[in-house]
Amino acid sequence: MIRVLLVGKFPPVEGGIASKCWQLTRALRPHGIVFHGVGITMPSEYCTPADDINSSLLSTHWIAQQDSTMPWFLPGGDLLVERLSAIALDIAREFRPNIVEANYLAPYGIVASWVARQLGVPLLLRHAGSDMAKLLSRTDLYAAFSALLHAAQAVVTTEDGRFVDSYPDLATVSWRIIPRYAPDPKLFHFTCRKSSRTTPPTLLYIGKSNFHWKLRALELAAQAVAKTEGWRLKLITNGKGLANVQHVLADYALGDRLSYHDFIPPSSVPAQLRTAAAVWGFNRLGGVSDVSNVIWEAAACGVPVLCSRTEYLPEECAILQPWLHAVDDEAESVATCLKALRDMPVLEHDKWKYTVHQRYMAYVDAQLVLYRNLAESCDDV
In a domain, 353, yes or no: no
Peptide bond into 97 cis (omega under 30): no
State what percent of residues in the chain have pLDDT above 70. 85
- With a cut of 70, say whether residue 363 has pLDDT above it: yes
Roughly how many angstroms between the first and final C-alpha of the chain, as a whole number? 19
In a domain, 240, yes or no: yes
In a domain, 354, yes or no: no
In a domain, 7, yes or no: yes
CATH of the domain at 45: 3.40.50.2000
The reply to whether 174 and 207 lie within a common domain is no
Q: How far apart are CA 187 and CA 274, in angstroms?
A: 11
Indicate the range of 38-42, 244-248, 272-276, 329-333 predicted with least confidence: 38-42
In a domain, 218, yes or no: yes
The reply to whether 39 and 137 lie within a common domain is yes
In a domain, 37, yes or no: yes
In a domain, 67, yes or no: yes
Question: 270-326: per-residue pLDDT in tens?
Answer: 999 999 999 998 876 543 456 788 989 999 998 999 988 876 666 667 788 788 888
Question: 128-164: per-residue pLDDT in tens?
Answer: 777 777 788 888 989 999 999 999 999 998 875 567 7
Strand positions, DSSP E, 147-285: 154-157, 175-177, 202-206, 232-236, 258-261, 278-280
Average pLDDT taken over every residue of the chain = 85
Q: Could you tell me the pLDDT band of residue 261, with boundaries at 50, 70 and 90?
A: very high
Indicate the range of 6-10, 35-39, 188-192, 244-248 predicted with least confidence: 188-192
Domain of 46, in residue numbers: 2-183+359-380
The reply to whether 319 and 365 lie within a common domain is no
- With a cut of 50, say whether residue 10 has pLDDT above it: yes
Q: How far apart are CA 326 and CA 339, in angstroms?
A: 14
* The dihedral sign for the CA sequence 180, 181, 187, 189: negative
Count: domains in the chain: 2
Residue 207 bridge partners (DSSP): none
Give the predicted TM-score (pTM) of the model.
0.89
Q: Read off the pLDDT of each residue in 34-49 and give the average, rounded to a whole number.
A: 84
The reply to whether 287 and 371 lie within a common domain is no
The reply to whether 74 and 215 lie within a common domain is no
Q: Which residues of 323-360 are buried (b: 16+ CB within 10 A; e: fewer)?
A: bbbbbeeebebbbbbbeebeeeeeeeeeebeebbbebb
In a domain, 323, yes or no: yes
The reply to whether 150 and 215 lie within a common domain is no
The reply to whether 298 and 223 lie within a common domain is yes
